[in-house]
Amino acid sequence: MITLLPSVLSADFANLGNELDTLKKSGVTEVHIDVMDGMFVPSISFGMPVIASMRKVSDLTFDVHMMVEEPGRYIDDMVKVGADAIGVHAEACKHLDRTIMQIKDAGKKAYVVLNPATPLSVLDYVLDKIDYVLLMTVNPGFGGQSYIPQMTEKIRDLRRKIDARGLDVEIQVDGGIKLNNVETVIDAGASRIVAGSSVFGDHTEEQIAAFLKIFAEKN
């Protein structure tokens, strides 16, 4: 099953409730929420109050990607405001295993995020504890970047690693994913597709329909 996760970082913030409604009406079931602290990445996005406001008007699954130093400090808060899945960067956690277990103990799905230059070996001792791995296919912090071609082989390598261990772990990708390259990442082994600027805009419904048509052909 291939899933589209529109990234609300590219949505119209002045019209966020309607944007979420459009996603649901278009067949989207999950939304990707980037939380940035201005430390782990240069940008600052939004935090708990905005997510809580979104939760009041939407029953979509909230996939919260924490681009935050020591994200374990905020896991409980993210759970309270409505996160359904929480992703943390291996590079940002002093004790990655502990942070994963904090998320799982709260009854939420947990995933680990890797920056483009981070080797897959950091997952060796936690891969059996998580639901997804998110491979960044751009360097995190800004929307609208171009896909890094070398990440296709990284996706393939991770798929082989997961399959060799017989694990039920999905691969999520985020960064520069568009209609003209989404089949490449799916064929490499990704099944959870984050897309921002290629979804939101003047033709959001049409863009979603185009992605979902490709997914239906690949499923």
Question: Which residues does 53 contact at the CB level (< 8 Å), separation at least 6?
Answer: 16
Residue range 96-126, pLDDT digits in tens = 999 999 999 999 999 999 999 999 999 999 9
Residue-wise pLDDT tens digits, 6-42:
999 999 999 999 999 999 999 999 999 999 998 898 8
Residue 157 confidence (pLDDT) above 90: yes
Segment 32-61, tens digit of pLDDT = 999 999 889 888 888 899 999 999 999 999
Marked catalytic residue, from 12, 21, 34, 187: 34
161-167 long-range contacts (CB < 8 A, ≥24 apart) are 161/120, 161/123, 161/127, 162/127, 162/133, 165/127, 165/128, 167/127, 167/128
What mean pLDDT comes out for the span 187-212?
96
27 is in an annotated binding site: no
Confirm or deny that 157 is annotated as ligand binding. no
Res 44: pLDDT: 83
Residue 174 annotated as binding?
yes
Does the active-site annotation cover 131? Answer: no
Asked if residue 142 has pLDDT above 80, the reply is: no
Residue 144 has pLDDT above 80, yes or no: no
Query: Which residues constitute the domain of residue 198?
Result: 3-218
The mean per-residue pLDDT over the stretch 193-212 comes to 95
> What pLDDT is stored for residue 101 in this prediction?
98
Domain count, the chain: 1
Q: What angle do CA 49, 53, 138 make, to 5 degrees?
A: 70
pLDDT in tens, 76-90: 999 999 999 999 999
On the question of pLDDT at 2 being above 90, the answer is yes
Overall pTM surpassing 0.85 (yes/no): yes
- pLDDT surpasses 90 at 194: yes
CATH number for position 24: 3.20.20.70
Question: Is residue 7 marked as binding?
Answer: yes
163 among the known binding-site residues? no
Q: Is 34 considered catalytic here?
A: yes
**Mean pLDDT, rounded, of the chain:** 95
Q: Which of 195, 200, 201 is nearest to 180 (CA)?
A: 195
pLDDT of residue 180 exceeding 90:
yes
Judge whether 65 is annotated as a binding position: yes
Checking if the pLDDT of 141 tops 90, the result is: no
Percent of the chain at pLDDT > 70 equals: 99
Instruction: State the DSSP string of the chain.
Output: --EEEEBGGGS-GGGHHHHHHHHHHTT--EEEEEEEBSSSSS-B---HHHHHHHHHH--SEEEEEEE-SSGGGGHHHHHHHT-SEEEEEGGG-SSHHHHHHHHHHTT-EEEEEE-TTS-GGGGTTTGGG-SEEEEESS-TT-SSPPP-TTHHHHHHHHHHHHHHTT---EEEEESS--TTTHHHHHHHT--EEEESTTTSSTTHHHHHHHHHHHHHHH-
Give the whole-angstrom CA distance, residue 138 versus residue 31: 19
Which one of the listed residues 163, 174, 187, 202 is annotated catalytic?
174
Residues in the chain: 219
The single residue listed with the structure tokens 């052909």 is: 217
